[in-house]
Amino acid sequence: MAIHSGIDLKHCLKHCLVRIPGLELRENEPLSRHTSFGIGGPADLLVIPSTPAALCAALAATYDAGISPVLLGNGTNLIVRDGGIRGVVVRIADEMAEIRFDGTRATVEAGASLASVCLQCARRGLSGLEFAAGIPGTIGGALIMNAGAYGGEMGDIAEWVEVAGTDGEIRRLEHADLSFGYRQTTLRMLGEAVVRAGLGLREGDPAEIHARLCDTMAMRCAKQPVSSPSAGSIFKRPEGDYAGRLLESAGAKGLCVGRAAVSRKHANFVVNLGGASASDVIRLIEATRELVYERSGVWLEPEVCVIGED
């Protein structure tokens, strides 16, 4: 029987979920605590697994109840509307972040941060992930959107990915099954939860790898407002151009709606000045998109994902 109301969620689904070992439940949890933007209304039920087994059991119970859960990592590249999310949010982050190495290969759980994986690879003299230095997301989220920068992307190093389906069963997808493209993969279309992934790396000198990480971080800090709450790049790169250049040419830098502002450091970033609402951010994004269209005729495609209710 499908569950729809908040009462059903609390009395039926919660009753099933609390029995699952390794699972934390939070009711009416503000998602502003779980997004890099620091905005977003509450989730009826936030589910936080600490093991793949707990994740799979939670997914099976949720889908059995007739509910399609929202999957959340570190909440980067994401805007949650002010009304929050009616239903279940499954957060796969640092509670599920095991990293294991075998030679030049790493097996990484989906909740591990890119930052921690980059550092551990550098310490072991493993190269290939330097491009990701400073990207504030999880391995799972990075794989779903094929995160990349400075000439590298996740598709370059991902050998396989394990996902959990609606029945809670894990299946493995090899690299050839994943169809990596610009800011998208087959994983995004499947909508299944990433459990863990196998990364293929190369041997290198730890000091040189660490130096490249530092160089990448320095470039990122010089060009992007990394110290301000944001969701990362707002728009995808249009063919033959850059969203930041188009936005700056259209006069978007510094524009504000409420407590949301276009960064003066990089026009493709909207930052939270403190107390911004999702409505402020979304209105500002649409306004800058229209500015660019009026100026250049280019209709920018959002890279950031917007979810939840007004």
Could you write out the DSSP letters of every residue in 143-203?
HHTT-EETTEEGGGTEEEEEEE-TTS-EEEEEGGGT--BTTB-HHHHHTPEEEEEEEE-EE
CB-based contact 210:122 (threshold 8 Å): yes
* Greatest Cα-to-Cα distance within the chain, rounded to the nearest angstrom: 58
Catalytic residue among 81, 86, 91, 183: 183
- Torsion angle of alpha carbons 304, 305, 308, 310, nearest 10°? 50
In which residue are the tokens 């982050």 written? 93
Cβ-based neighbours of 117, under 8 Å, separated by 6 or more: 99, 106, 108, 129, 132, 139, 199
Length of the chain: 310
Phi, psi of 307 (to 5 degrees): -135, 165
- Strand-pairing partners, residue 30, are 42
Residue 124 among the catalytic residues: no
Residue 303 among the catalytic residues: yes
Cα distance between residue 63 and residue 167, in whole Å: 7
Residue 183 among the catalytic residues: yes
Catalytic residue among 32, 233, 263, 277: 233
Both structure tokens of 222: 């010089």
- Strand-pairing partners, residue 65, are none
Catalytic center residues: 183, 233, 303
